Amino acid sequence: MSDDEREEKELDLSSSEVVTKYKGAAEIVNKALQLVVKECKPKAKIVDICEMGDAFIREQTGNMYKNSKKKIERGVAFPTCLSVNNTVCHFSPLASDTSELEEGDMVKIDMGCHIDGFIAVVAHTHVVQSGPITGKQADVVAAANTAAEVALRLVRPGKK
């Protein structure tokens, strides 16, 4: 068996090492998401929240595979993005940006992490508000949730 064939087999999900890397990346990015959601408060600077999310991912991935014989790349696979209200997606501000979150803002959060190229990406919609969501925002969140549930039920082996 050549080295190329051996490397191809390693990339298969039947390899416990590959599954471990995916799970590790997923755990880190889920913890980072929880941290970012907690920081989404009125008057919080968007750039600070994004930088904190990326820093958390770099710190956590930096602690993994330190003693590995083979150099394993790891870190941010997709920068932390906070898209507020009418911004559709993937807004990661420049360091000079002074935008802040306000009460009632709908924030779409996207971020990703990788370990050795095995990527885990997460997205979440959060409303900066202390009580229950009502009105148009509640309708939008409910519609998106319903659409996701319908799509999930349609995904079956063999279906097109």
pLDDT by residue (tens digit) across 100-126?
999 999 999 999 999 988 999 999 999
Going along the chain from its start, the domains and CATH numbers come out as: 16-129 (3.90.230.10)
Q: Report the pLDDT value the prediction gives residue 8, as an integer from 0 to 100.
A: 52
Instruction: Please list the ranges in the chain whose pLDDT falls under 50.
Output: 1
Q: Report the pLDDT value the prediction gives residue 2, as an integer from 0 to 100.
A: 55
pLDDT by residue (tens digit) across 52-66?
999 999 999 988 887
- Cβ–Cβ contacts within 10 Å for residue 72, how many? 14
Question: pTM of the full predicted structure?
Answer: 0.83
Strands of the sheet containing 106-115, edge to edge, are 74-84, 106-115, 118-127
How many CA atoms are closer than 13 Å to the CA of 137, on its beta-carbon side? 18
The residue length of the chain stands at 160
Cβ-contact 125, 33 below 8 angstroms:
no
Q: Which amino acid is at 33?
A: L
Q: Report the pLDDT value the prediction gives residue 54, as an integer from 0 to 100.
A: 96
Q: In angstroms, rounded to a whole number, what is the distance separating the alpha carbons of residues 139 and 19?
A: 37
Among 52, 53, 67, 47, smallest CA distance to 113 is for 53
